[in-house]
Amino acid sequence: MQWQTNLPLIAILRGIPPKDAIAHVGAIIEAGFDAIEIPLNSPEWEKSIPAILDAYGDKALIGAGTVLKPEQVNQLADMGCKLIVTPNIQPEVIRRAVSFGMTVCPGCATATEAFTALDAGAQSLKIFPSSTFGPTYIKALKAVLPPDIPIFAVGGVTPENLKQWIEAGCTGAGLGSDLYRANQSIERTATQAAAFVKAYREAVE
């Protein structure tokens, strides 16, 4: 099963306010990203997500993170979101998102959770928090998972350590605080986005 974008790095813009969303997403896309999530515990996400979809929906896979309830999936589908990322395994959330034709990347930690997500229709998995488990754990977990399922490391991934996650068998990574922190400058976002793109390309050479 192929990941849906050219660059398998998901930008996680947790805490971004609507007034900053367009500019920061633009900088990230300019660096080469084509998958963006706004977590639903960000301020006024109901404004940020539609604005980003309107501006960049034809350039990137855009959606929401920290999606916990099927009702939220309905709301996001109405906005036109194409990506749903969760921190946990809630089968009904996964099934609902799949029914709308969305790409779903649910968070899991164990083989039981991973297979529960796949049984519900998830097309990819994120191992969260990856920094707690480490690359060796992910490599062991991948041994029992279907080989064609894209696996993303999320939590503690930096440009400096991205390569170790790729070498452990991850397709890519979800990038949070090392890419974007609330209220940081556009310049910082652009610099970090470029560093992650460079690190990924070097890791897969």
Active site (catalytic) residues = 37, 126
Residue 44 is classified by DSSP as T
Tell me the C-alpha distance between 114 and 137, whole Å: 13
Tell me the C-alpha distance between 27 and 165, whole Å: 25
Q: Where are the alpha helices (DSSP H) in 69-128?
A: 70-79, 91-99, 111-119
Half-sphere exposure of 154 (CA within 13 A, CB side): 27
φ, ψ (nearest 5 deg) of residue 15 = 90, 0
